[in-house]
Each structure stands twice: as C-alpha cells, then as structure tokens.
Amino acid sequence: MFLRSTGLGRTLLTARMAKIETTNMVPSTLEPPKNGIAEPLRMLMTMEVVNPVHWTVRAFVDPSDLRAMIKEVLTHPALILKGIAFLFAKDPDYSATATAEQAGAPAPGAAAATKGVPIPKAAPGPIPGSAPRSGPSPIPARR
C-alpha cells in the first residue's frame, strides 16, 4: 500500500500490513495497563513502512471508528461491488514504476558536468512580515 501525509510533503511511503489484533494496550506507552487501571479493548493495526524509510506505524481503532468504517461501506453500494472486485484483483507490478522513477533521476556525474554554470533560484523567499502558513487547507465537508 502507499501512504501520503501532509506532514511529509510530497513523500510517498510504501508500506505493508504486518498485523491486526485486539488488545487493551495503552496507546501512549505501548505497554499493558498498570494494576487497577481499566483500559478499553481496541483493534491494533500494525503497518510496516518499507520505503523510503523503515518505520512501524500502529493505529489503534476504537469501536466507534470501526462502526464508522462499516457504515461508510454499507451506505455506498458501489463501494461494496468495487471492493469485491478489488479483493480478487491481481497486485500491480511495482518494479516497473521504481525503474521509471530512477530513470528520471539525474545521473551522479550530471552535477559535475554543469559545474561553473549558475543555477537560477526557483522563486523568491517569503515576504517579510507576512504570516506563515499553518498547513494545508481543510478538507471540504461531504454534502
């Protein structure tokens, strides 16, 4: 699977599902609850990011989250049909994509060939005194 994050800019992460289990682990410490503390049962989805970094991403799903996901699928019949077709589809070959991306990258000696040629700036910097942008625009509400 591919993951994108607004915090990582245009970086595309490649990941795979490692494990799905139910647990009462405390999300903030990733440890079992201490004696006498009741922690609710949650679903833990563990994903392993393999490219361009190696990360383990854990998503704790509460029962209300799972109900919302199921409701979203059940209220869109076309999504159910596409999901069934997707379930039996063959995985794409990503090796061709990786070689195409590598072919577009400049060769290591390309920088040495242009040595001495000034590189123009892409754009001027921010306007002094302007307020910094606080992130991407909000996601529009579904109507």
Encode pLDDT of 80-130 as tens digits.
899 899 999 998 877 655 555 555 555 444 454 555 555 555 555 555 555
Report the length, in residues, of the chain. Answer: 143
CA distance 87 to 91: 10
Residues 47 and 72 in one domain: no
pLDDT of amino acid 20: 93
Tens-digit pLDDT profile for residues 35-81: 878 888 899 999 999 888 899 999 999 989 999 999 998 898 898 89
Query: In whole angstroms, what is the distance from residue 126 CA to residue 25 CA?
Result: 45
Query: In this structure, is residue 88 part of a structural domain?
Result: yes
Domain contains 17:
yes
What's the domain range around 82? 63-92
Statement to judge: residues 46 and 87 lie in one domain: no
Instruction: Judge if 19 and 2 occupy the same domain.
Output: yes
Establish if 135 belongs to a structural domain.
Answer: no
For 90: left if phi > 0, alpha if psi spans -120 to 50, otherwise beta; the answer is: beta
Quick one: three-class SS letters along the chain?
Answer: CEEECHHHCCCEEEEEEEEEEEECCECCCCECCCCCCCCCCEEEEEEEEEECCCEEEEEEECHHHHHHHHHHHHCCHHHHHHHHHHHCCCCCCCHHHHHHHHHHCCCCCHHHHCCCCCCCCCCCCCCCCCCCCCCCCCCCCCC
Contacts of 111 (CB under 8 A, 6+ apart): none
Task: Please state, in angstroms and rounded to a whole number, the distance separating the CA atoms of residues 24 and 41.
Answer: 5
Write down the pLDDT at residue 117.
55
Task: Record the pTM.
Answer: 0.56
Rounded distance between C-alpha atoms, residue 40 and residue 21, angstroms: 14
User: Is 68 found in the same domain as 80?
Assistant: yes
Tokens coding 63: 């029962």
Does some domain include residue 121? Answer: no
State the total domains in the chain: 2
Q: What is the per-residue pLDDT for 45?
A: 92
